[in-house]
Amino acid sequence: MTVKKNRLGQWLLITGLISLLTIACGENLSSDSSTREMPASSSTQLVSHALGETRIPTEPQRIVVLHDTIILDPVIALGIKPIAATTYASEEGIVFRGLTSEQSEGIEILGSMEQPNLEKMAALHPDLIFATHHLHHQIYSPLSSIAPTVVIDHNQFDSFKDRFRYIAEVLGKSDQANQVLTQYQTRVEQLRQAIGDQLNEVQVSVIHVYGEPLSTPDATHHISQIFSDIGLQRPPSQEGLLQEKNFSLEVLPEHDADILFIVKYPSSKVETILSNPIWQQLNAVQTGQVYEVSPERWGGAGGPIVANLILDDLFQYLVDNSDG
């Protein structure tokens, strides 16, 4: 009985060793596959995001971002250059909205925001992926198999500044974010002073032209937030909107103002609108206070870089033009 017991013990020991060896080999194989595990010695942090919680490196070195204005803009503003990003494919050839060629130089392109190239992404071995909820929630699982993935729902933030602070916190760059926002606020105050007494006397309207219907941004849009920071007055029809407001050409006079900004999108039939008698009767049209601005700046969901570009436009049209 003793001999049989010893043999049974030996067999169990051998079986256990084989199982451990199999598991070890399996782990080695999986580390070379699309499931990228972080080394045990890596310093990590647990981050809450739109689709749960994810453990990420505290100092990621190979970041991939899947949206330009929502994520890439804030990341670049923090002084970080991702290894790759998806693009904004416009008819005018713009790749990353709001960024200069110098700011975007060296960033690998991973296809469009709507259809990121996952195979190419995996080959770059990122250690952190930033994705958006509205475009990428359905591919969260394959993204997470490539690298730890943080999903951002821009609708969960009260302002572009709060979204910027969140991204900065994830990346351990909160101090840098505070500096960027302080510089932004300084420019806002400079613009307020330059506008002077007109700030409380002039109404400014914003109309997005895709075609018909026309639209105006809601209160959560970065344009509305920037206007609010400055103290610019909007027409009553554009104040406090809970969602983007679509409207027909017939009610366009309700959106008239002293100054009118037109955000013209590619392929929009703006000429048809501009030739309409209703348009011609607007106060802003008759006084020559209509300005066409870029949808790459004034559309989408901007970050601090785009916000400063909008301030550039406002300095030009509200201050420089009035001086002339």
What confidence tens digit (pLDDT) does each residue in 208-254 have? 988 778 999 999 899 999 999 999 999 999 998 988 999 999 999 99
In a domain, 301, yes or no: yes
Any idea what the CATH number is for the domain that residue 284 is in?
A: 3.40.50.1980
Rounded CA gap, 224 and 243, in Å? 12
Rounded CA gap, 71 and 225, in Å? 18
Rounded CA gap, 100 and 120, in Å? 24
User: Does one domain contain both 166 and 186?
Assistant: no
Question: DSSP string covering 112-155, please?
Answer: ESSSB-HHHHHHT--SEEEEEHHHHGGGHHHHHHHS-EEEE-GG
Distance from CA of residue 122 to its chain's centroid?
22
Q: Give the domain extent around 52.
A: 44-172
User: Does one domain contain both 81 and 161?
Assistant: yes
The answer to whether the CB of 258 falls within 8 A of the CB of 59 is no
Amino acid, single-letter form, for residue 302:
G
In a domain, 20, yes or no: no
The answer to whether the CB of 153 falls within 8 A of the CB of 132 is yes
pLDDT digits (tens, 9 = 90+) for 21-51: 333 433 333 333 333 445 444 699 999 999 9
How long, in residues, is the chain?
324
The answer to whether the CB of 238 falls within 8 A of the CB of 255 is yes
Predicted pLDDT of residue 57: 98
